[in-house]
Amino acid sequence: MTSDNQTLENIQNFEGKYPKQLWYLFFSEMWERFCFYGMRGMLVFFMAHELLMSEETANLQYGATQAFVYAFTFIGGLFADKILGFRKSLFWGGLLMIIGSLILAFEPHTYFFLGISFTVVGTGFFKPNISTMVGSLYGKNDNRRDAGFSLFYSGINIGALMGGYACIAIGKGELFAHLIPNHLYWNVAFGLAAIVMTISLITFAFTQKTLGPIGLSPFKKTIVNEKGETVVVHESKNWYNLAVFVGSLATIPIIMTMVAKTAYTDYFMYIIGPVTLLYLFFEMTRHTWEESKKLIAALVFIIFSIIFWAFFEQSGGSLSLFAASNLDNTILNTIKLDPNGVNNSANSLFVIIFAPIVGLIWIALAKRKIEPNTVVKFGLGFLFLAGAFYIFYATRFFANANGVTSLDVFTVAYFVVTLGELCLSPIGLSIMTKLSPARLQGIMMGMWFLASAYGQYVAGLLGAGMAKANENATLQEKLYAYTSGYQQLAIYALIAGVVLIGISPLVRKLMGDVK
């Protein structure tokens, strides 16, 4: 039995705009995202240029790897809800991510899929649970929740900005090359991911004492003793925890096989989605119709988010290969930058700069009672995405005779992508916690990330389709193959945005009192 004077009520009744615990979770997430986006930014380039896969295969492998990363967030959320609790789940996931990064740092060419598999399982245990703990810092009707998630989202993007640029630039020998022997570029790049993940885990270890009952195992209960102190009572279920730890390690060889052979990934994706939906429908039978309507509304957001991420996640796949082959390395004719680093980090830079501005715009519109509702914001996200992919398509008009085009125009497209993301993603994390009953919060957050898994999976298929003709293609032919694909995505994003805005009144009714 241990004592902790922080009750949930005390935490949620904080003064000011943000609870102090949010800042601790912010920094832990920031370093974890450095690791994640650093790894993500290296995947396709490393597979195509170091493992010598075809561009089509590299896109499929990327989609499979990322799909499993996000699919495991659902599984991680489920085990956190039912057995481990969010804290223990997060720590276990972080430890697996460190091991995976260290394996890649040791010998990335030989042990690539083994290292990636540890990272996949680790991210599944880490990612959904820290987001859920952020939601637990706020009371049910606290209107400061969206602001908190927006700040948390900026932490994600600071980590993504640093990791997205640094890791790929080090791996390619574009950054710190004078300090690193050229045969160790990739070892150091993957090793950097391990270092920052260790910092994230240490940060969280010192954060736990401020979280009171938030994130504890469901087998632990908080009570008030005769002295008026809040104490935690432990129910002995240690073998449950051990079973989860052993089981997650046992899945790593399976993940290795399924990621390496993308046909197995297809079977997995055909099964996991329907099974997850059936499980959610079963859970709905245990809730009131009012709660179930909100869960149906959450499903609408989840379905459209699959489409959004399928387009958005070209950044880690086809756009990474496009950047490596078809972009120059100069911004504004003066600043030399690695084009892959820009591809990985431009979005995050724009989020950091413009997320507060977009937030202020929503507040100003709300004061005038003309702020669009959450569903319309989702629709606007698609319209911006359509504009961005049209600009990616338009880069073909700025190319030289060799098929190399403007990094400036490419970066402008990412600015428009960011506006779309700011209409959708921070709201998505928040709306899942608002629409979910307390006992399903981890599962619904997991489903939100499972939707991202399907988005990643489809992104890989789309990217592979664009790369089919690229095996022995000239740079000019690659330019036209990829930009033609981006033109098609622009059209589909436009249609999705119009449909979503059209059905917004119906979805708003399903949401009930949730704003």
Task: Dump pLDDT digits (tens) for 338-378.
Answer: 999 999 999 999 988 988 788 788 888 888 989 888 889 99
Q: Determine the Cα–Cα distance for residues 51 and 109; give it in Å rounded to an integer.
A: 7
**pLDDT tens, residue by residue, 187-213:** 999 999 999 999 999 999 888 888 888
**pLDDT tens, residue by residue, 128-139:** 678 778 888 988
Neighbouring CB atoms inside 10 A of 275's CB total 10
Q: Determine the Cα–Cα distance for residues 182 and 392; give it in Å rounded to an integer.
A: 33
Of 236-250, 260-274, 381-395, 441-455, highest mean pLDDT: 381-395
Contact present, 108 and 51 (Cβ < 8 Å): no
> Which stretches of 107-237 are DSSP H helices?
112-136, 145-171, 185-207
Quote the percentage of the chain above a pLDDT of 90: 51
Q: What angle do CA 126, 246, 199 make, to 5 degrees?
A: 35
Structure-block tokens of residue 438:
């307390």
Question: Residue 42's pLDDT is what?
Answer: 95
- Comparing 69-78, 108-117, 205-214, 344-353, which segment has the lowest mean pLDDT? 69-78
Confidence of residue 250 (pLDDT cuts 50, 70, 90): very high
Question: Residue 371's pLDDT is what?
Answer: 86
Confidence of residue 265 (pLDDT cuts 50, 70, 90): confident
Question: Residue 362's pLDDT is what?
Answer: 82
Question: Residue 347's pLDDT is what?
Answer: 94
pTM over cut 0.95? no
Task: Evaluate if residue 309 carries a pLDDT over 80.
Answer: yes
Structure-block tokens of residue 340:
């892959």
Of 42-56, 62-76, 280-294, highest mean pLDDT: 42-56
In 3D, which of 504, 513, 510 has the Cα closest to residue 372? 504
Confidence of residue 223 (pLDDT cuts 50, 70, 90): low
Neighbouring CB atoms inside 10 A of 370's CB total 8
Computed over every residue of the chain, the mean pLDDT equals 87
In 3D, which of 52, 67, 70, 63 has the Cα closest to residue 465? 63
Q: Which residues pair with 335 in a beta bridge?
A: 331
Question: Residue 2's pLDDT is what?
Answer: 42
Question: Residue 409's pLDDT is what?
Answer: 97
Contact present, 490 and 496 (Cβ < 8 Å): no
Contact present, 24 and 215 (Cβ < 8 Å): no
Question: Residue 469's pLDDT is what?
Answer: 66
Question: Residue 230's pLDDT is what?
Answer: 56
Measured over the CA atoms of residue 202, residue 205, residue 210 and residue 211, the dihedral's sign is positive
**pLDDT tens, residue by residue, 169-185:** 999 999 899 999 999 99
Q: What is the DSSP string of 447-499?
A: HHHHHHHHHHHHHHHHHHHHHGGGTT--HHHHHHHHHHHHHHHHHHHHHHHHH
Question: Residue 161's pLDDT is what?
Answer: 95
- Comparing 236-240, 281-285, 357-361, 462-466, which segment has the lowest mean pLDDT? 236-240
Task: Evaluate if residue 1 carries a pLDDT over 50.
Answer: no
